[in-house]
Amino acid sequence: MAASGVVLEVIHRYKYQRALWFEPFLAELMIQQAEPVLKAGSWDAVVPVPLHPLKEREREFNQAERLAAHLGKRLGIPIQKHLLKRIKPTPTQTFLNKAARQANMQGAFRMNSPLNCQRIILIDDVFTTGATTNACARVLAEAGAGPICVWTVARGI
């Protein structure tokens, strides 16, 4: 689903104004699309895109982690919220162009433990240029992950 109009407004209120009452709606949007596709495969873990600890303290929650929990529960797949760690306090990507987003994500993530070909579902709220999820997937792959798929609530414009 394109992240424009009402959906984008709901995501921004959820994320930046702590409008947590939107969470079930947003999770269900993602699950409706992801569940039929993911049930056909065999997945080992759901991994949310991590926030830097400073940003998570400021926001008081990680939206990707909370959305991942809904998906993991529905599919019966464990959540690995500590597998990836954000080590660089990057500024928000909202107002950056594609090249700046990619540069912003350089060296932003690291693994907390090696993988052994696990099949990973990577979760974020919005996919715009793919800079964040690509950076996460690269680190997961370098650590030994098997197939990695990415699911988000919406695709940015």
Q: Burial letters for 22-61: b for 16+ Cβ neighbours within 10 Å, e otherwise?
A: bbeebbebbbeebeeebeeeebbbbbbbbbbeeeeeeeee
Write down the number of H helices and E strands in the chain: 6, 5
d(CA 136, CA 142): 10
Give the pLDDT mean for 21-36: 95
Predicted local distance difference test score (pLDDT) of residue 103: 79
Fold of the 5-155 domain: Rossmann fold (3.40.50)
Percentage of the chain modeled with pLDDT above 70? 96
Give the pLDDT mean for 35-61: 94
Percentage of the chain modeled with pLDDT above 90? 68
d(CA 148, CA 141): 8
Determine contact, residues 155/8, Cβ cutoff 8 Å. Answer: no
d(CA 49, CA 109): 9
Predicted local distance difference test score (pLDDT) of residue 157: 55
pTM: 0.91
pLDDT higher at 1 or 63: 63
Predicted local distance difference test score (pLDDT) of residue 4: 57
pLDDT higher at 91 or 19: 19
Give the pLDDT mean for 144-150: 95
Strand order in the sheet with 120-127: 45-48, 120-127, 148-155
The answer, yes or no, to whether residue 3 has pLDDT greater than 70, is no
Average pLDDT of the chain is: 90
Domain ranges (residues) in the chain: 5-155
d(CA 146, CA 119): 5
Longest dimension (CA), the chain: 41
Give the tens place of pLDDT for each residue, 100-119: 888 778 888 999 887 888 99
